Amino acid sequence: MTYTKLVPRLRLIFLFCLFNHFAQGQIPQIGQELHRLSLTKDSIGIVNSLNRLGTLYRSRNADSCFYYGLSAKRIASRLHYLQGQKDADQVLSYALFKRGLYAESLDLLAKTLPYYQKSNNAEQIIRIYLDRIEVLNKGISDGKEIKSLLQKAIQTGKDLKTDSIMSEVYISYCNRNPNITTDSINYYLSKSWEIANRHKDERMLIYVRLWQARLLILAKKKQEALPLIKQLISDSRRIGSSNLEINALFLMTGYYDDKPKIALDYFYQAHKVAQKGGDKFLELYILNNALEVANQLGDKDQIDQCPS
């Protein structure tokens, strides 16, 4: 397999895009939430704050996500605070996924869904559908179940009072439909952009731009894509999202598909970001791609330099 055949895999890197629904930059929000937690005396309020922190850390650090989710679950269980327990389970299911524990993650999501269905919490139901889609995409399920979940997410979105999460749903619809046409992709990207822009959701606006850069690369318009990708790397670092940064670095590997040594360096950069974030799932994914390129180089020294 030649390295140039890796370019279509740019679609695959979006498999971890859709986990963390919050607007604006992540780092300021974390600081604000930590300050709020330090002032909170009410036990229920502490649980809710811990769960919000766990959610905010989903795209930044899997270990921190797990820590805050577990802390919230322990206190909520002691208080018999059911909503706090279920919110914590949703945070923990994501952390389990990132640690490669796919079956455990799916099991926890399955146990959490009925609570949100009973309480008619449409946004949390959609969040579980999106999370299940990403876990199932790891080869545990065929495309039929994923497509069914996407359809359920779109249908459930009709009952939302605020539609901000639908920006993610439309991106996921593009990511998880291998036969989707370019016209359809542009249609759903437009819908995602409109919602994200209306809610000032910078994170999702960056995801849409990632897709636009990917389309430019696949259309052989690399010179148009390069400044966009560079800006995406900068913006991702500015808002503190390791997921976004890794996606942007992966786009650079596609840009340099004809210069594998340069592409390999971007794979290594992405691997370091995943390592720092405690993301075992992404570490393995990136490493497998890096090793494939290193093998194409036929240079033992390059292969030995691959992170482990």
CA distance 114 to 76: 18
Among 96, 166, 167, CA closest to 132: 96
Same domain, 165 and 192: yes
Q: pLDDT per residue over 231-257, tens digit each?
A: 999 999 998 888 899 999 999 999 998
Query: Residue 91: exposed, middle, or buried by beta-carbon count in 10 A (0-12, 13-18, 19+)?
Result: buried
| Residues 157 and 212 occupy one common structural domain | no
Domain that holds residue 155: 120-200
Is 193 contained in some domain? yes
pTM for this prediction:
0.82
Domain shared by 210 and 286, yes or no: yes
- Tokens 């996407």 appear where? 150
pLDDT of the residue at 30: 86
The answer to whether 156 and 125 have CB atoms below 8 angstroms apart is yes
The mean pLDDT of the chain is 86
Q: Is the pLDDT of residue 51 over 70?
A: yes
Residues 259 and 241 in one domain: yes
171 in Cβ contact with 153 (< 8 Å) = no
Structure tokens at 101: 């524990």
What totals of helices (H) and strands (E) does the chain contain, helices first? 15, 0
**In the predicted model, is pLDDT for residue 291 greater than 80?**
yes
pLDDT at 142: 66
Task: Give the residue with greater pLDDT, 16 vs 39.
Answer: 39
Residue 223 shares a structural domain with residue 134: no
In whole angstroms, what is the distance from residue 272 CA to residue 279 CA? 10
The answer to whether residue 180 sits within a structural domain is: yes
Separation CA 114–CA 120 (nearest Å): 10
Note whether 8 and 218 are within 8 A (CB): yes
Minimum mean pLDDT among 60-69, 88-97, 177-186, 295-304: which range?
295-304
Domain count, the chain: 2
Query: Is the confidence at residue 7, as pLDDT, over 50?
Result: no
Once rounded to an integer, what is the mean pLDDT over residues 67-88? 97
DSSP for 163-198 reads -TTHHHHHHHHHHT-TT--HHHHHHHHHHHHHHHHH
Structural domain ending residue among the three candidates 157, 179, 200:
200
What does each C-alpha distance from 222 to 12, 201, 205, 206, 292 come to in angstroms?
A: 19, 27, 21, 19, 23
Residue 80 has pLDDT above 90, yes or no: yes
Q: CA-CA distance, 126 to 5, in Å (whole number)?
A: 34
Q: Residue 27 CB: number of other CB atoms within 10 A?
A: 14
The domain that holds 286 is classified in CATH as: 1.25.40.10
Task: Return all residues near 42 (Cβ < 8 A) that are at least 6 apart.
Answer: none
Query: Within this chain, do residues 191 and 258 fall inside the same structural domain, yes or no?
Result: no
Compute the C-alpha angle 54/157/150, nearest 5°.
80
pLDDT score of 6 more than 70? no
Q: How far is residue 57's CA from residue 70's CA, in Å, rounded to a whole number? A: 13
Domain boundary among 134, 166, 200: 200
For residue 149, the model assigns a pLDDT of 94
The whole-number average pLDDT for the span 112-126 is 95
Taking the C-alpha atoms of residue 271 and residue 184, their distance in angstroms, rounded to an integer, is: 32
Pair (238, 259) in one structural domain:
yes
Instruction: Tell me the pLDDT band of 27, cut-offs 50, 70 and 90.
Output: low
Residue 21 has pLDDT above 90, yes or no: no
Instruction: State yes or no: pLDDT of 5 exceeds 80.
Output: no
Looking at the structure, do residues 295 and 217 belong to the same domain, yes or no? yes
Boundary of a domain, candidates 178, 200, 222: 200
